[in-house]
Amino acid sequence: MAGRRIVLVQGAWGSSASWTPVADILRGLGHQVFVPSLTGLGERTHLFSGAINLDTHIADISGLIEAEGLEEFDLVGHSYGGMVITGVADRFASRIRSLIYLDAFLPSDGQSALDLLGPEVALANLAAAGELGGFAVPPPARHATRVPEHLRHYMANRSPHPIATMIQKIRLTGAHKDIKKRLYVSASIDQSAIFSGIYGRVSTDPSWQSLEVPSGHMLQLEMPEEVARIIHDFIG
């Protein structure tokens, strides 16, 4: 199989570095891998502002696609990254070979991340943001528990996530649905209701491929070899 061009999109609070173990394996398999960081997060925390919203992060990935002239590429998103890749896919559907959602949000037009999380979790996030001046949500500690010790440093430098990215409702034309090769990967350990609900829906939809893996939410750090293999096998 010829190497593919793959774009990996991070989740909330983290950075592109959370993909490093998976990206290294995929590159070793001959793929060209792009791992952009989202504005205000990771090594771009110096750019944090209350004005960063979902459109900002969609523009981050869109800018990479345009700058690299990417065609026929595969797009992968983890967690909050599902919001981002859905927006990107709606803009670049004709240039994307496949979409892979790793325990990720799968929004419909007019939905925000907080809408998908449900009122109880949404209110908790808004309350947490209130403790940081109302602009950002501090990172939760629970996600780090199953990451192996030698990869734990990728969890240590997470930063507050811009709340406006969770509040803004996504606007979709429906063009993203033209991408027929789609995979949803669900983490089976301590499943959150939101992601298990999405998995339950897509697993009965013949237009999707889906699978469940024995991992907590941080799949790409908890089981990088398996995640790289899943991506490699699906895009082949």
Q: Catalytic pick from 16, 18, 79, 98?
A: 79
Sign of the torsion angle spanned by Cα atoms 75, 69, 37, 93: negative
Burial of 193 (0-12, 13-18, 19+ CB in 10 A): exposed
What letter represents residue 44's amino acid?
Answer: R
Which residues, 6 or more positions from 236, have their beta carbon under 8 angstroms from its beta carbon?
A: 1
Both structure tokens of 74: 């595969």
Residue 221 near residue 137, CB atoms below 8 Å: no
Enclosing H/E stretch for 25: helix 20-28
Strand partners, 96: 73
- Phi, then psi, of 25 in degrees rounded to 5: -65, -45
Cα–Cα distances in Å, from 137 out to 15, 60, 72?
Answer: 15, 20, 35
Which region holds residue 137: left if phi is over 0, alpha if psi is between -120 and 50, else beta? beta
Tell me if residue 37 is catalytic.
no
Q: How many CB atoms lie within 10 A of CB 190?
A: 12
201, two tokens: 């829906």
Active site residues per annotation = 79
